[in-house]
Structure 1
Amino acid sequence: MDKVVLKEQAKIDDYKGIISDGLFNELIVLSEKLKKAKVCHINATSYGGGVAEILRKEIPLAKSLGLNFDWKAVSAEPDFFDVTKKIHNGLQGADIKITADEWELYGACNHNLSKVLNVHDYDIILIHDPQPAEIINCIGKNGAKWIWRCHIDTSEPNQEIANYFLKFLNHYDASIFTMREYILRGMHGDIFIIPPAIDALGDKNKPMSRAEAEDIVKKFGINTERPLITQVSRFDPWKDPVGVVDAYKIAKRKNPNLQLAMVGSMADDDPEGMQIFKDLKRYAGDDKDIFLLSNHDGLNDLEVNAFQKYSDIVLQKSTKEGFGLTVSEALWKETPVIGGNVGGIPTQIEDGKTGFLVNNVEECAEKITYLVNHHGIAHEMGKRGKETVRQKFLLPRLLRDELKVIERLLDA
């Protein structure tokens, strides 16, 4: 397990004028009360995916408030992440069998992780998702308060896999889910509902002019005289990349100038990503208007910002989605979003007001065509979407909510 050292210098004062005075003052009061508490976040990877992205911004923001927050990421062999990817998919409902040998590997790796975690250094241990969740079973609480934070859609889990986790998840002092529907059957104790959030100040979401965005997307071959739709996500079956290509192809029949960009990162804990990327490239065929791009092509946060800003529409056509940070990212840039009507996406999109919720490829294609042909409506949707994100889905609100949980546990 490696401590993640961050160069980011996020400051809460920079959020003045972006968040409400009430939220700002609440954070000041809570941080003053909790400044002596030592908190350790533990997750699967320091790069790639929504959890790492949140922590990369949240930890510096907490430190700017004088809070004592550490972040540690799992270090393990690739076969561990092969197993945890299967577990992840199973908890989201995939019909997957975890063998006895795979469970043994999972438990052994968690046991090894527990050996290098000095629990006595912390008052709060906050474990993210299933990868390091069994550490508590290996080491015990040792005087700390333990929180399990589930970021995935566990509304209809593979029950056999869920039952394995319930054996030790109920040892935690509290658990946090994104939506009430995700609470695993059989969970008890303190359960909190806290949706994730985005950082408005970093390279991915900071203000960018349309001209600057245009210059960046041009470098990747985008024709800025023609409409562009974009999906930003991991290359993952749950993000339905094939369905995105199919919807684009249907919509292109009515809008022959349409272009599609599919932008994603290859996360350290996702062994499937590269294979899905290769399969998707074959599926897209020789269509010169489909651009499959990743961090390996030089796409980092600033470039993602540009694609979300410049696109006429952003898609998040997931079939399962714990939350989908990319929805709020796009709405923050006043770009309308067409999202799958699943998981945490409807929490962010008000159907017909800030974007559209769709249930299949045909509906997605229909809404793409509508928004490409109705620029005024698309613009108004984007403006309303930004205000929704400002009120509900910015990082200081997430930090406030988590500090309230920590305060409650330490006061208990």
Structure 2
Amino acid sequence: MSAVQWDAYRDVAPKGTVDLLFRLAEQVQGRRFLHVNASRYGGGSPETLNRLVPMMASLGLDVGWEVIVGDPKFYADVHTLARVLEGGEGQVTPAVLQSAADVAAENARKLDLEADVVMVHELAPLLLVRHRKAPGCWVWGCHSDLSRAPRRTWHLVRRDLERYDAAVFSLPKFAQRLPLPCLIIHPSVDPLSEKNRELSRREVQQMLERLRVPSDKPMLLQVAPYARSKDPMGVVRAYRLAKKYVDCRLVLAGGGAADNPEGTAVLAEVREAAGGDPDVHPLVLPPDAGLEINALHRAAAVVLHLPRHESFGLGVAEAMWKGKPVIGSLAGGIPAQVVTEVTGFIVNSVEGAAFRIRQLLQTPDLVARLGGAAREHVRRNFLITRHLGDYLALLATLR
């Protein structure tokens, strides 16, 4: 990101938000804020930090971003640990943590970890805290749902979590009980990013033509990886039920299927379920498909997000920012974003989703009302300017 466009943020954020950020920044001048994660690329914390770090620097703050490096076995072990802590299958042994500890020790020798506040994002760099240097405060940021973590695995991790001064979770229900302050900071949408910036009708239409998606009838859209936890087959069933009453087409937009064995299999299942229906479009998007997702959101009449399991599910807020009503499941952070009958609908079955699709497509005024409320809800609660303010408050509070 080049120079931060503060005037553009003033135009979209709630009144006074940007001025408040500058006042908060004055209160923490001279303090160093260091972020540590496992990658500079991709979604999640890398996507957020690529936007937030330049914004913090533009406010005159001393901010840094370090990235740990490990071998393929390390990343595979971290993936297993994350899956198990979220209640999935797998086995985590002390040997796995010892391997992670060795990687942490090697990175600690190479990285500059001195700062007033060190924010460690997610599980991969977790064990760096064993090498912390006084007097800085260390904070662990977690976007995963740990509420279903197996007791044995949780206790293996908890020993190191207790070395931190605070922990940050995306939602209260994601947290486990810890003997340290636990704070809630929601993820955020950057309205100026490629994924969320304003697009002209011409830009949207050109993208649809490139993706070979006709615009002759209302579009239903789900943007999610091709994974069984995201239930794309349930989305197809909801579409088929709704299509008996309202003509529409369905676009499923996911990525990484070629690199993910489950993704490849699930994509094949979706294509088979489509059964040659020309109104079902399973798209495989590249990792940097922000502009494609933006255009699809803007072209959609209704956005669906119906996973069985989810973390925060920020894609919901990204769709709502484009003024789209969202039909979502009860998984993860979706109910924190979708207010039923205000910004969209929460459903708990395929049949319920189909009913709401039919209701929305048959009531254009309702689509407009819910979509307008959805954008305003994101503006007030989920923009990156709010996220930055939360981090500045964290920097000011921890001493």
Common topology (TM > 0.5): yes
* SS of alignment partner, residue 40 of structure 1: strand
Pairwise mapping of residues 186-335 of structure 1 onto structure 2 (< 5 A)? 187-255=178-246, 257-266=247-256, 274-284=260-270, 285=272, 286-287=275-276, 288-296=278-286, 300-335=289-324
Contact 2:225–2:263 (Cα < 8 Å) also in 1? no
Pairwise mapping of residues 111-122 of structure 1 onto structure 2 (< 5 A)? 111-120=105-114, 122=115
Q: Distance in 2 between matches of 1:109 and 1:265?
A: 29
Pick aligned residue for 1:133 from 126, 136, 140? 126
Residue 386 of structure 1 corresponds to which residue in structure 2? 375
CA positional deviation for 1:180: 1.6
CA positional deviation for 1:95: 4.0
Q: Are residue 160 (structure 1) and residue 152 (structure 2) matched?
A: yes
**Partner deviation per Cα, 1:379-407 (whole Å, 9 max, x = no partner):** 21100101111111100111101111111
Q: Distance in 1 between matches of 2:121 and 2:2?
A: 21
CA positional deviation for 1:293: 2.9
Residue 342 of structure 2 corresponds to which residue in structure 1? 353
CA positional deviation for 1:329: 0.8
Contact 1:235–1:273 (Cα < 8 Å) also in 2? no
Contact 1:334–1:382 (Cα < 8 Å) also in 2? yes
For residues 236 and 281 of structure 1, do their structure 2 counterparts lie closer, same or farther at Cα, with a shift above 3 Å needed?
closer
For residues 299 and 109 of structure 1, do their structure 2 counterparts lie closer, same or farther at Cα, with a shift above 3 Å needed?
closer
Gaps of 5+ in 2: none
**Partner deviation per Cα, 1:329-364 (whole Å, 9 max, x = no partner):** 111100111111122111111112111112232222
Contact 1:11–1:60 (Cα < 8 Å) also in 2? no
* SS of alignment partner, residue 119 of structure 1: coil
Contact 2:10–2:17 (Cα < 8 Å) also in 1? no
The code of the aligned residue for 2:4 comes to A
Q: Distance in 1 between matches of 2:101 and 2:365?
A: 55
CA positional deviation for 1:265: 4.0
Q: Distance in 2 between matches of 1:233 and 1:273?
A: 15
Q: Distance in 1 between matches of 2:74 and 2:282?
A: 28
CA positional deviation for 1:260: 2.3
The code of the aligned residue for 1:117 comes to L
Query: Greater shift after overlay, 67-76 or 345-354?
Result: 67-76
Total equivalences in the alignment? 395
Residue 102 of structure 1 corresponds to which residue in structure 2? 96
Query: Greater shift after overlay, 358-367 or 165-174?
Result: 358-367
Gaps of 5+ in 1: 1-6
Q: Distance in 2 between matches of 1:184 and 1:264?
A: 31
* SS of alignment partner, residue 303 of structure 1: helix
The code of the aligned residue for 1:152 comes to S
For residues 371 and 74 of structure 1, do their structure 2 counterparts lie closer, same or farther at Cα, with a shift above 3 Å needed?
farther
The code of the aligned residue for 1:259 comes to R
For residues 291 and 161 of structure 1, do their structure 2 counterparts lie closer, same or farther at Cα, with a shift above 3 Å needed?
farther
For residues 299 and 192 of structure 1, do their structure 2 counterparts lie closer, same or farther at Cα, with a shift above 3 Å needed?
closer
For residues 63 and 156 of structure 1, do their structure 2 counterparts lie closer, same or farther at Cα, with a shift above 3 Å needed?
same
* SS of alignment partner, residue 94 of structure 1: coil
Q: Distance in 1 between matches of 2:62 and 2:255?
A: 30
Residue 10 of structure 2 corresponds to which residue in structure 1? 16
* SS of alignment partner, residue 398 of structure 2: helix
Q: Distance in 2 between matches of 1:28 and 1:363?
A: 46
The code of the aligned residue for 2:174 comes to Y
The code of the aligned residue for 2:294 comes to N
Pairwise mapping of residues 7-46 of structure 1 onto structure 2 (< 5 A)? 7-46=1-40
* SS of alignment partner, residue 356 of structure 1: strand
Q: Distance in 2 between matches of 1:73 and 1:366?
A: 46
Contact 2:220–2:251 (Cα < 8 Å) also in 1? yes
In percent, how many aligned pairs have the same letter?
29
Q: Distance in 2 between matches of 1:67 and 1:11?
A: 17
The code of the aligned residue for 1:307 comes to L
* SS of alignment partner, residue 217 of structure 1: helix
CA positional deviation for 1:140: 2.8
TM normalised by structure 2 equals: 0.92
The code of the aligned residue for 2:157 comes to F
* SS of alignment partner, residue 320 of structure 1: coil
Residue 45 of structure 2 corresponds to which residue in structure 1? 51
Q: Distance in 1 between matches of 2:2 and 2:152?
A: 41
The code of the aligned residue for 2:260 comes to M
Contact 1:62–1:69 (Cα < 8 Å) also in 2? yes
Residue 162 of structure 2 corresponds to which residue in structure 1? 170
Contact 1:50–1:325 (Cα < 8 Å) also in 2? no
Q: Distance in 2 between matches of 1:164 and 1:246?
A: 41
Q: Distance in 2 between matches of 1:367 and 1:78?
A: 44
Q: Distance in 1 between matches of 2:81 and 2:96?
A: 10
The code of the aligned residue for 1:188 comes to P
Residue 403 of structure 1 corresponds to which residue in structure 2? 392
For residues 362 and 272 of structure 1, do their structure 2 counterparts lie closer, same or farther at Cα, with a shift above 3 Å needed?
farther
* SS of alignment partner, residue 74 of structure 2: helix
Q: Are residue 67 (structure 1) and residue 61 (structure 2) matched?
A: yes
For residues 15 and 346 of structure 1, do their structure 2 counterparts lie closer, same or farther at Cα, with a shift above 3 Å needed?
same
Q: Aligned-pair RMSD on alpha carbons?
A: 2.2
